[in-house]
Structure 1
Amino acid sequence: MIGIALRTLRFHRGGFVASFVGMFLGAAIVIGCGGLLESGIHRAAPPLRMDAAPIVVSGDQRYHGTAKDEVFAERVPLDAGLAGELAAVPGVAGVAADVSFPVTLTRDGRRLTGHGWSSTRLAPYRLVEGSAPSGKGRIVLSDRLGVRVGETVEALVRGRAERYRVSGLVGGAGNGAFLPDAEAGQAAGRPGEVDSIGLFTAPGADVAKVRRDVERAVDGRQASVLTGDERGLAENPDVMSEGEDLIPLAAAFGGLSAMVTVFVVAATLGLSIRRRRPQTALLRAVGATPGQIRRLIVGETMLLAVVATGLACLPGPHVGRWLLAAFAEAGVVPDTLAYRAGIVPVVAGACTALLTALGAAVVAAHGAARTRPVEALAEASRETRRFSRVRLALGLAFLAGGAALAWGTAGSDGPDAAGVATPAAMVWTAGFALLGPVLAAAVTAALRRPLRAATGCAGYLATENARAGTSRLTGAILPVMLATGLALALTYMQTTQTEGARAVFQENLRADLAVTSPAGGLPLDTVDWIARRPGVAAASAQVTSTGYIEPAELAGPLVHKGDAGEGAPQPPAMALLGVTAAGVTRTTAYRATGGSLDALAGASVALPERFAAPYRIGDTVPMRLGDGSRAALRLVATVRTRPGYETALLPAATLLPHTGGGLVPQIMVSVRPGADRDRLARTLAQGRPGLRVVDRAALSALRAEQDRTQAWMSWLVLAVVVGYAAIALVNAQILAVGERRRQFRLLRLVGAARRQVLRMMAVEAVLVTAAGLAAGALVAAATLIPLSLSVLDAPVPHGSPWILATVIAAALALTLAATLLPTLSLLRARPGGAVAGGRGPHQAVRVEDVLARRAPVELGVALRRLLER
């Protein structure tokens, strides 16, 4: 049978090309997603500034001992005294500590990153003019900035305007600013702490051995020893937290693509094999066994799958690199994260694609092989198979699974609901796909009379064809359902989540103005200065971070990697907001449900009610702040927040030292009743250098822009997945139309004009689109209603109705184009080819067979209807 399979491939080029395209694209996407997953696991960030040091010691960003091994949101600092200890490690020839802080040149607003002068040993910088900064008020800048040695420049450092004399210029990658080491430590706002320490090994020293000795030296501290590509983590610790986000993103994207591939290949292969029923029937009639038929179909499919998957291994890694670059450009992952994928993603993606093709081939072969020999020829001419009980049971099981996931979606917190809703969409899709014949029959019955009334003979022929060819109709409907269902579900899922986040932001926004700085933040004393300005009712700092309530199991010595074990605790994580007690109630919507927010001072905290249950007002709450520091905070109040958006309030002075910049990102201001808000904004902006004042509308616009940036990732995933489904839709429609060659020739033989056949096919395309949209709408509704209940507390998702209109118009346009264009091509052939001269083994048919009603039912219906006219 394998030999027959090889010899018959050339007689069914159309069907195999369609299947090949689906397998090739699906395998390329899955392989690319596998590469993204491995890149997220490695989180490789090749060093730039620290490339000269073979070993770098940096703060360990992991919260070891937790069930999920959480990652701290802020940079974990190191004790500056550690540099001296590491210098004494055998094999270490020298050390260089590094700190980073923002520097903004006031003359052109250019933002630079400042460092201490000794860190130039770590970087590919060289002094090209002048000398090193040797005293206070001296600075060295990049030679790319257009400044000269001896020139005085003004810069914003730690939110204040400072004047520096340029003592030298450096060449090399990047635009840096270098201060004397002591002044750099003060500018970073963390005296006695450094970001990282670079170690230089002695000539001939074994770097691996030195690393082991350094690891023993830092044992018991929140520090990590990095070599190779890991050193980039010291330059950009966001790679650890944001790079880790790439793992679930790639897994979800790859899983979604794999499931779409299953549906696409199964539908396309089913249509292709259905098109060959006369050939299969003939083989069964002359004695071929069911096993031989299965081997024939599976052999053909796997031969095709091997070629398609093998070719997909070439562009697959490029797809992964393109996706990673797109995510980095949108700010979803750091741009320093490198694509690192070996042979594992390629092998895993190829195996997934082959297993998908094998499963689809086995299912399709089962239907073709179960026909009894005495019924084979009749089966080839007319559909007589009933709806399988196994298929019905599986369809109902998937619908039950979708209902369970819908329940879980409705019960999830708003931000987490999409994580449950996305797999729910695929489960619903699988259920409705298995019940496709039932849906197709129901939609055909519902539209039969309206189509006949609106289109006359064309509608009659189209609905009769649909009723007689349920299998073909179902295979054409499935890609439409897949494309429209996923497009509606994923699009409205994103718009609903965006609206939920916007609603929470608007609920919490009570301030009239917000004060920021192009330098990246403001000194904390700016809050008091603003609060004393005429016309200001209240002012409050807003410092954001992330923290954890530390479980008692982790309250002892620091737990390091590998020490967690089974049953490790998962500390409650929540957003942290540093505020000013005197202005928090006037500038935000937070209100105390227990205790008082006025007591937020010193080491204190106001917890969300959800996490405050084990404690009473006045109790001490053990917490880990964003930089990994432990803090014992006194509970002074509880606040009510939306589920999933829980935020703990801390005094800004307490939280600020544990953030990366050590500056207040923005200060919220409420205006006194009767005061001129615009005049106050101008007064504040002119009061101190580097202040920028925006109103509430600008804040909302900025938030919307941030939401759009974060949503870009979802739109990219949507474009790739739905685009693939759309290609499958076109393939399926072309394949389904190609099956109708003999019917078109017979219709032309008995006198039907081309326009009559085209009208019939146009009505069928409308019928397929309507059925696919109905099924897709069911998928979307079953996915979005629970999501909307979770996010918006309402059953109707948020989003423009133009999204629905666009999806409907696109589905109809694609289906019409993929139906009518192949029909026009087939109608170019002479009608006599239906009687004799057909080139394919099943294209020729005798007129007496038609008159004897041995042709397919739809042909008899068409001929009878045309003859009556």
Structure 2
Amino acid sequence: MTGLALRTLRFHKGGFVASFLAMFLGALLVIACGGLLETGIHHAAPPQRLAAAPVVVTGDQRYHDTVEELVFPERIRPAADLADRLAAVPGVRKAVPDVSFPVTLNGEGSRATGHGWSSAALTPYRLTAGAPPAGADQVVVGAALADRAGLRVGARVGLLTHGTAERYEVSGIARGTDDGDALFLSDTEAARTSGHPRQADSIGLLTTPGTDPTTLARDVRRALAGSGTPLAVLTGDARGQAENPAVLADGGDLIPLAAAFGGLAVLVTVFVVAGTLGLSIRQRERELALLRAVGSTPGQLRRMVVAETLVLAAVATALACVPGPRAGRWLLGAFADAGVVPGSIAYRAGSVPLIVGIGTALLTAVCAALVAAHGAARTRPTEALAESGLQRRWFSIARTVTGALCLAGGTALALSTARSAGPDAGGVATPAALVWTAGFGLLGPVLARACTALLSRPLGAVSGLAGQLAAANARARTSRLASAVMPVMLATGLALTLAYLQTTESAGAERAFDESLRADLVVTSQAGGLTSDTLAAVRGTPGVAAATAQIPGTGYIETPRAERTGDGEEEASGPRPTKLALRGVTVEGLDRTTSYRAATGSLGALRGHTVALPTADATSRGLRIGDPVPFRLGDGSAVTLKLVATLDGRRGYETALIPAALMLGHTDSGLIPQIMVTAARGTDRAALTAALTARSASSPGLTVTTREAVTAAYSEQDDTQAWMAYLVLASVVGYAVIALVNTQILATTERRREFGLQRLIGATRGQVLRMTAVEAVLTATVGIALGILVAACTLVPAGLSILDSALPSGSPLILGTVLAAALGLTVATTLLTAGAVLRTRPGDGTTA
């Protein structure tokens, strides 16, 4: 039967090409997603500025001894004088502290990163002109930055950094292997300007010749034992984490992203390959029935179909292994451009994604082949030819039970979505859409028959004889109709679900942000932040009714060891801290610049070591006003805060508040990023904006924006993040659309004999095309209706969770575009294929 299977491949090119394309694209998507998953596991970031240092010591950003792996968002810095201790380790030629701080070129607006001159050896940077910075008023500029800003040796340049403005003389131009926008001050000036004079961001170790970095790293860890500050000793690609701590924090986000994307791709692949292959096998029912009639056993038919499929799958997956890694690299670059992951993460994928992609494609193909061959294989020889001419067995008990279980699972996931917190609803809604799709797909013949019965009468009334004939064909060939409907449902349902889910999540986040904002104006600075003196000056400006500092960040509520109970598992793996959105604020005027209101306690007591927690978090932990709260701030500092208030807020968007004075000492910049200003009644906003802008003389880089501009900027930032979701949408739905086109071509080509018989009994080419067009409209209508049902079952619970509304947020144009595309593709593909089939002579079709 294997030899027969190989010989039959050339006689069914259309069906096999469609199946081959479905397998190839499915394997391509799975391999690409597998590569992203392995990249997220490695989160390798080849060093650039620290490339010359084989070993780098920096703060350990990981939140250790916890159930889930957490990363502190603020940089943890080692003491600068630790370099002397490290220089004494055997094998270390020199230990060089490095500080990095953001710089803005005054007047240019260009962003750069400042360092101390001694750390230029870590890249290394070498002077191409001029001399090193000899005094506090001199700077060496990187060649890339100098070219862009038009700077030369001897030029004067103004720099905005750490809330101040200074002018420096360009003493030299340096070029290094790192093409970043770097500039170098003297070590003393860099320590002062960074805002952390006794700390370093990292310490690079230059080694003596012949020193093994791995061995040296082990010796350094021993030397650092008991140093107090949690430190990480990095080698190889891990050194990039010292340059950009976001690699460790945001790089891990690539794992759930790739897993979700890959899981979605795998499930869609199963649907597409199974549907396409099933339709291809159904196209050969007469051939398979004849083989049964002449004595072939069910096992022989199954082996033949599986052998054919394995040959196709092997070739398709082998070819997908070539562009698969390239597709993974392209997706990683796209995610980095969207700001989802740091751009310094390098694509690292070995053989595992290829093995998983090949295995998934082969397993999917074999399972689909077995299911598709089951109907023909179980047919009795005496009924074989009759069975191929008329579909008698179009459903089974197993299929009914499985479909019902999927619908039950979809219902459970829908209830879970509705009960989820707003930001978490999307994570439950996406698998719910796939479960609903599987349920409706398995029950497709029943649903298709019901929809056909519902649409037959109006369709016949509108389209006359062509519609009546189309309805009769649909009733007689329910299985064929269901196979053609499923890709339409899949493409429509996924497109509507993913698109409106993203717009709904964006609307929920924007609503929560807008509801928390009551200020008329927002004061920021290009110099990296604002000082407390600037806050006082803003409050004293005529026309200002209230001005409060806001410092966004992240905090963690810890579980006291005395309260940890259970079966010992938590004790073994560590506590499960609660991660919270945190905001440092000043309480004066807080009620007039924000919507924060105390449900219990008083926000006026937010002074010293205090905290205001969301009501849900305080209640879940049994905390009352006045209770101590064990807390971790963004830089890993452990503090005990007194609970002085609880806050109600939109579920999933709650924020905890602490005093700004406490928060400032635990941020990277140590400055206030924004001041919220509410104008006094009757004050002209334009005049107040001008008065506040005039403060820039004493507060360099100060800028004033309106509330509307801040909201628009937040929306634009959210749109950038949403681009990633639309990329996933385009990839998965694009695959489903290709499957839709494939299926319609295959389903229409299958009817060559039927069209030939209709032509022989007197039907004209135009009549057959009109009948086919009506059938295509019926197929598209049923598929669109089921797709809308899938989307509704998913989006209604998500809307209730995120927006407290059953209707999703988003433009009606999305709905119109998806429906028009589904209808247009189905009808156009069917008519073009039918037109090609009808070009042959009628007699040729009956003997094909």
Which of the numbers 161, 179, 183 marks the counterpart of 1:177?
183
- 5+ residue gaps, structure 2: none
- Which residue number corresponds to residue 832 of structure 1? 843
- Which residue number corresponds to residue 727 of structure 2? 716
- 1:107: Cα distance to partner? 2.4
> Quick one: distance in 1 between partners of 2:800 and 2:572?
35
- Which residue number corresponds to residue 614 of structure 2? 608
Query: Which secondary structure does the structure 2 equivalent of 1:203 belong to?
Result: coil
- Which residue number corresponds to residue 867 of structure 1? none
- Which residue number corresponds to residue 764 of structure 2? 753
- Which residue number corresponds to residue 206 of structure 1? 212
Which of the numbers 234, 238, 246 marks the counterpart of 2:246?
238
CA contact (8 A) 2:161 2:528 kept: no
Q: 1:742–1:152: structure 2 CA closer, same or farther, 3 Å change rule?
A: same
Which of the numbers 282, 287, 306 marks the counterpart of 1:298?
306
> Quick one: distance in 1 between partners of 2:253 and 2:472?
52
- 1:602: Cα distance to partner? 2.3
- Which residue number corresponds to residue 546 of structure 1? 554
- 1:834: Cα distance to partner? 4.2
> Quick one: distance in 2 between partners of 1:656 and 1:341?
40
- Which residue number corresponds to residue 623 of structure 1? 631
- 1:512: Cα distance to partner? 0.1
- 1:275: Cα distance to partner? 0.6
Structure-to-structure mapping, 1:62-73, within 5 angstroms? 62-73=62-73
Which of the numbers 516, 536, 539 marks the counterpart of 2:524?
516
1:157 matches 2:161: yes
> Quick one: distance in 1 between partners of 2:628 and 2:103?
38
- 1:178: Cα distance to partner? 1.2
1:450 matches 2:461: no
- 1:338: Cα distance to partner? 0.6
- Which residue number corresponds to residue 766 of structure 1? 777
Which of the numbers 482, 491, 502 marks the counterpart of 1:483?
491
- 1:171: Cα distance to partner? 2.0
> Quick one: distance in 1 between partners of 2:4 and 2:708?
71
CA contact (8 A) 1:66 1:570 kept: yes
- Which residue number corresponds to residue 739 of structure 2? 728
Aligned partner of 2:27: which letter?
A: A
- Which residue number corresponds to residue 854 of structure 1? none
Structure-to-structure mapping, 1:344-423, within 5 angstroms? 344-423=352-431
> Quick one: distance in 2 between partners of 1:80 and 1:646?
38
Structure-to-structure mapping, 1:782-861, within 5 angstroms? 782-834=793-845, 838=847, 843=848
TM-score normalized with structure 1 length: 0.94
CA contact (8 A) 2:448 2:478 kept: yes
> Quick one: distance in 2 between partners of 1:754 and 1:29?
41
Query: Which secondary structure does the structure 2 equivalent of 1:95 belong to?
Result: strand
1:44 matches 2:55: no
- 1:386: Cα distance to partner? 4.4
Aligned partner of 2:236: which letter?
A: G
- 1:655: Cα distance to partner? 0.9
CA contact (8 A) 1:211 1:225 kept: yes
Output one character per residue of 1:687-715: Cα deviation in whole Å (capped at 9) or x when no partner: 21311111111111111101101111100
- Which residue number corresponds to residue 98 of structure 1? 98
CA contact (8 A) 2:66 2:573 kept: no
Structure-to-structure mapping, 1:486-505, within 5 angstroms? 486-505=494-513
Deviates more, 1:594-603 or 1:57-66: 594-603
- 1:555: Cα distance to partner? 12
- 1:755: Cα distance to partner? 1.0
> Quick one: distance in 2 between partners of 1:490 and 1:246?
19
Query: Which secondary structure does the structure 2 equivalent of 1:177 belong to?
Result: strand
Deviates more, 1:773-782 or 1:249-258: 773-782
- Which residue number corresponds to residue 29 of structure 1? 29
Which of the numbers 257, 261, 272 marks the counterpart of 2:269?
261
Output one character per residue of 1:66-112: Cα deviation in whole Å (capped at 9) or x when no partner: 11111111212112232222112222111011111111111211111
- 1:832: Cα distance to partner? 2.5
Query: Which secondary structure does the structure 2 equivalent of 1:650 belong to?
Result: strand
- 1:425: Cα distance to partner? 0.6
- Which residue number corresponds to residue 858 of structure 1? none
> Quick one: distance in 2 between partners of 1:249 and 1:703?
22
> Quick one: distance in 1 between partners of 2:189 and 2:559?
39
1:595 matches 2:606: no
- Which residue number corresponds to residue 320 of structure 1? 328
- Which residue number corresponds to residue 139 of structure 1? 139
CA contact (8 A) 1:65 1:554 kept: no
Aligned partner of 2:585: which letter?
A: V
CA contact (8 A) 1:113 1:176 kept: yes
- 1:448: Cα distance to partner? 0.4
Query: Which secondary structure does the structure 2 equivalent of 1:525 belong to?
Result: helix
- 1:308: Cα distance to partner? 0.5
Query: Which secondary structure does the structure 1 equivalent of 2:779 belong to?
Result: helix
Considering only aligned residues, what root-mean-square deviation do their CA atoms show, in Å? 1.5
Query: Which secondary structure does the structure 2 equivalent of 1:154 belong to?
Result: strand
- Which residue number corresponds to residue 861 of structure 1? none
- Which residue number corresponds to residue 528 of structure 1? 536
- 1:611: Cα distance to partner? 1.9
Q: 1:554–1:307: structure 2 CA closer, same or farther, 3 Å change rule?
A: farther
- 1:821: Cα distance to partner? 0.4
1:120 matches 2:120: yes
Quote the sequence identity (%): 61
CA contact (8 A) 1:489 1:780 kept: yes
> Quick one: distance in 2 between partners of 1:10 and 1:754?
29
> Quick one: distance in 2 between partners of 1:612 and 1:400?
35
TM-score normalized with structure 2 length: 0.96
- 1:180: Cα distance to partner? 1.8
Which of the numbers 186, 193, 199 marks the counterpart of 1:187?
193
Q: 1:427–1:378: structure 2 CA closer, same or farther, 3 Å change rule?
A: same
> Quick one: distance in 2 between partners of 1:815 and 1:385?
27
1:282 matches 2:270: no
- 1:615: Cα distance to partner? 2.7
> Quick one: distance in 1 between partners of 2:29 and 2:72?
32
CA contact (8 A) 1:65 1:564 kept: no
> Quick one: distance in 2 between partners of 1:48 and 1:102?
17
> Quick one: distance in 1 between partners of 2:68 and 2:319?
38
Aligned partner of 1:578: which letter?
A: G
> Quick one: distance in 1 between partners of 2:536 and 2:82?
37
- Which residue number corresponds to residue 219 of structure 1? 225
- 5+ residue gaps, structure 1: 557-562, 844-869
- Which residue number corresponds to residue 847 of structure 1? none
Query: Which secondary structure does the structure 1 equivalent of 2:10 belong to?
Result: helix
